[in-house]
Amino acid sequence: MDKHWVFQYLPKLFCGFAYIVNPIFIYLIFSGKSAVLGNYRYLLLYFACFNLFYSVANVLVPLDIHSYRYCFFLMLSDGRFVEFSDYHSHILIARCSLILSSYAVLMSHFIYRYLVIHNSSFTKKRFPLFMIGSFIMLAVVFSTWHFLCWTIGRANTEIREYIREDFREIYGKDSMNFNMLAALYREGSDETVTQSWIATFFWSLICTAPIIGFMVLGRMIIVKLRKTTSIRMSHKTSQFQVELLRALAVQTIIPICISFLPAVLCWYTPMFGIQLGRTFNYFEVSAFGVFAVIDPIAIILCIPIFRRRIFSKHTIIEASVSSISGKW
């Protein structure tokens, strides 16, 4: 296999950083004056725990992605699950499903912020039900992606044969012996090409639907904040909500830019016969793990009560903020 240093060291390095940054993030969430965040702390904890689990998966089940002529394929680059079998194929698909599952985690944050400004009981007394709903949403997204990849996304014999020569040249192995998710857009049988286009359509739909949901909910939250500020919400309260929404926006944009967009390029460029170089593949593979490190840092920098504790020798928090604690 390709033993490039990207596959050997970067996943482990990012995992190590994740296990430094996220525990610090958790400490900031539940210490000091962070009680002002209310139940939102538990959603941030949910996010941090997902990052830690995802980072371990990124080390144990490392991915590689490559394109050849009118085909792209994704497979495991190393580890105990590389060899061809149905069980290992499930492991590969589950690993890919984790990437999309991060959108379900972020969606629960947007829904919570929307419910907060509507003073919903699901953010207070009925918050446990909200968390159960968040876990169910995560499970549904994970299962849906897994089902689609298992039924129409796995590489068949024709695709493995199509990439066989290129695969042997790059990896020094036979493509027939590896589990893959793949799509062949031309130069194949009608059945394989049609199935590939259908798979890519559903993959794109499932990935873009949450992004559209983020934008719609974000817009609705901003509109509601503008209305309630002039009616019953103080300026400080409104500003605090805006700061949390800004942090959530940054938290969402990072994985979209460094994970989703490069993946889209790998999906769509083979449609036009464009073959991306291995350098881009290395970048994409490394991007799969870096957001678990960058996202918590971005949140810390965007939320003032966290930022002050990191950069100030003495924490300075306005006394009036304590009056907001019961509202979040």
3-state secondary structure 90-123: HHHHHHHHHHHHHHHHHHHHHHHHHHHHCCCHHH
What is the pLDDT, as a whole number, of residue 256? 82
Question: How far apart are alpha carbons 258 and 64 in whole angstroms?
Answer: 16
Residue 78 or residue 219, greater confidence: 219
71-76 vs 180-184, strand pairing mode: antiparallel
What number does CATH give the domain 5-327? 1.20.1070.10
Report H helices in 172-234: 190-229
What is the pLDDT, as a whole number, of residue 88? 92
- SS3 of 73, please? strand
Tell me which of 91-95, 125-129, 228-232 is least confident.
228-232
What is the pLDDT, as a whole number, of residue 328? 47
What is the pLDDT, as a whole number, of residue 172? 87
Closest CA to 64 of 287, 262, 270, 285: 285
Question: How far apart are alpha carbons 91 and 106 in whole angstroms?
Answer: 23
For the stretch 165-213, pLDDT in tens is 999 988 888 999 889 999 999 999 999 999 999 999 998 898 889 899 9
State which H helix or E strand residue 152 sits in.
none
* Mean pLDDT calculated for residue range 271-295: 82
What is the pLDDT, as a whole number, of residue 192? 94
> Cβ neighbours of residue 88 under 8 Å, at least 6 residues apart?
76, 81, 82, 179
- SS3 of 319, please? helix
Q: Where are the domains of the chain?
A: 5-327
Tell me which of 84-88, 102-106, 206-210, 224-228 is least confident.
224-228
State which H helix or E strand residue 2 sits in.
none
Question: How far apart are alpha carbons 269 and 252 in whole angstroms?
Answer: 25
Question: How far apart are alpha carbons 26 and 33 in whole angstroms?
Answer: 13
Instruction: Say if residue 276's pLDDT is above 60.
Output: yes
List the beta bridge partners of residue 67. Answer: 72
Burial degree of 178 (CB within 10 A; 0-12, 13-18, 19+) = buried
Instruction: Say if residue 129's pLDDT is above 90.
Output: yes
Share of the chain above pLDDT 70, in %: 89
What is the pLDDT, as a whole number, of residue 280? 76
CA distances from 56 to 19, 53, 251, 324 (A): 10, 5, 20, 37
Q: Is-contact 41 325, C-beta < 8 A?
A: no
What is the pLDDT, as a whole number, of residue 315? 42
* Mean pLDDT calculated for residue range 215-238: 76
Residue 324 or residue 39, greater confidence: 39
Tell me which of 151-165, 198-212, 229-243 is least confident.
229-243
Kindly report the average pLDDT of the chain as a whole number.
85
State which H helix or E strand residue 303 sits in.
none
Question: How far apart are alpha carbons 37 and 28 in whole angstroms?
Answer: 11
Tokens of 263: 């993946």
State which H helix or E strand residue 188 sits in.
none
What is the pLDDT, as a whole number, of residue 229? 60
- SS3 of 64, please? strand
* Mean pLDDT calculated for residue range 10-30: 91
